[in-house]
Amino acid sequence: MLTQEALASGIDEKWAEEVRRLALEQDAVILAHNYQVPAIQDVAHHVGDSLELSRIAADVEQSTIVFCGVHFMAETAKILAPDKRVLIPDQDAGCSLAASITADQLRAWKAEHPGAVVVMYVNTTAEVKAETDYCCTSANAVQIVGAIPEDKEILFGPDMFLGAYVERQTGRKMQIWMGECHVHAGIEPDDIQDTLAKYPDAEMLIHPECGCSSQCMYLLSTGDLPADRTFVLGTGGMVRRMQESDADTFIVATETGMLHRLHQENPEAELIAANEAAVCGYMKMITPPKLLRCLQTGQDEVTIPKDIMDKARIPIERMISIL
């Protein structure tokens, strides 16, 4: 069933039927991240967070994966399913966070800290993953860091807000790379407090990449934010919280595509974006016409040199084995 937004944008049911028909014809599975536009979420076979989609990519039976998300996510799918054809509807769909550290920068950082364990968020290129010991996502960063022996120095990157959040949660001091996602960095403590003042009974769902997350942890510890109604969660955790919560109103502090995903879980709930300008232009480069073109022409195929792919698989598999 297509949403009003999809119909209004000129995407009709014929488009959805053609996308599904071509996917079947080409033995393709369509995966969509929680931030994708509504029409693409609705037509996808699976919608999820970065970890859920990586796991699905590793297990699917189809010979082609069409990844509707940003480039590093499609690369992760290719790394976990190297024998499959992995397509992304626009290979220029990047990520400001992944772009904040290069493999050369990471090598130089490691040289300054010999013996340190490198933990990198999955929002990194395959080349950076090839230099990494453990990958993590926003859903499991605390557990991954908790699994590293206490006497080891940790280099954590590239997101400084997620790093500060993990330090607070684990009580463990780390070396943190000063990278950020421009979308989440723009969601500030004032956005949360102003929205909470308007909706005092709302539950708050806050992504740990937000510029407000470390301050929110502080406000939680001082009692200035309600501990029973404030949740710092990755996008998959927000979906699960929505399924189990009795609240009527939710303040959602992450990319606004998430509101469509959460609305599917609980159409009755009132969903308020903490900052309506939190839109990831890279995620929105994946449009319905480009998805159709991708299935028709096989553009764009994700390719990674084999030696990089084999090295990059190790930290991803270590992450998956811990959970």
Among 64, 123, 125, 140, binds ligand SF4 (CB under 6 A): 123
Q: Residue 212 binds what, of ligand 13P, ligand SF4, none (CB under 5 to 8 Å, by partner type)?
A: none
Closest separation between CB of residue 213 and ligand 13P, Å?
A: 12
**Per rule CB under 6 A, is residue 50 in the interface with ligand 13P?**
yes
Closest separation between CB of residue 224 and ligand 13P, Å?
A: 25
Among 167, 203, 255, 300, binds ligand SF4 (CB under 6 A): 255
- Sequence-distant (≥ 6) Cβ neighbours of residue 264 within 8 angstroms: 41
Window contacting ligand SF4 (CB under 6 A); options: 37-45, 57-65, 89-97, 139-147: 89-97
In the complex with ligand 13P, the residue whose CB is nearer, 33 or 84, is 33
- Return d(Cα 132, Cα 116) in angstroms, integer: 11
Three-state secondary structure call for residue 305: coil
Q: What are the CA-CA distances from residue 77 to residues 90, 91, 122, 159, 301 (Å)? A: 15, 14, 11, 21, 12
In the complex with ligand SF4, the residue whose CB is nearer, 23 or 97, is 97
Q: Where are the beta strands (DSSP E) in the chain?
A: 28-33, 46-48, 64-68, 85-87, 117-121, 134-136, 154-157, 175-176, 203-206, 230-232, 249-253, 270-273
- Return d(Cα 285, Cα 94) in angstroms, integer: 9
Residue 122, both tokens: 């999955």
> What φ, ψ does residue 119 adopt, rounded to 5°?
-115, 120
Q: What residues from 269 to 288 belong to the interface with ligand SF4 (CB under 6 A)?
A: 280, 282-283
In the complex with ligand 13P, the residue whose CB is nearer, 182 or 293, is 182
Sites of contact with ligand SF4 (CB under 6 A): 70, 95-97, 123, 181, 183-184, 255, 280, 282-283
Q: Which residues bind ligand 13P (CB under 6 A)?
A: 34, 49-50, 123, 137-138, 181, 209, 234-235, 255
